[in-house]
Amino acid sequence: MGPYNIPRNVKDEGRILFIFTGRSIIYTAIGAIIGFIFYLLLAAFSMKLIGMLIIGIFGLIGFAIGTFKVPNIGSFKFTKKVGRRKHR
């Protein structure tokens, strides 16, 4: 008898904490760092709560940029290289 391959669902194995991929966690961190700069500026004016909200908003924006797929649009010259290519 030959070997029997057990089918596995490997679709989400590259995810961290079920929602973050490697790319999305990096973009989230970058967004949070940018938000932290605003937090420091607002903390100087004793508006720490607003600064924390801005950290969260920028973190969510970074997560959205890192998670959502950009479509491949070939009809315009400047958008041909924007979308993700599928690996063969």
* Structural domain spans, the chain: 22-79
Q: How confident is the model at residue 49 (pLDDT cuts 50, 70, 90)?
A: very high
Q: Give the model's pLDDT for residue 71.
A: 67
| Residue 5: HSE in the Cβ half-sphere, 13 Å Cα cutoff | 3
State the chain's mean pLDDT as an integer. 80
Cβ(19)–Cβ(66) below 8 Å:
no
State the helix-helix crossing angle for 48-67 and 22-43, rounded to 10 degrees.
160
Instruction: Reply yes or no on whether the pLDDT at 14 is more than 70.
Output: no
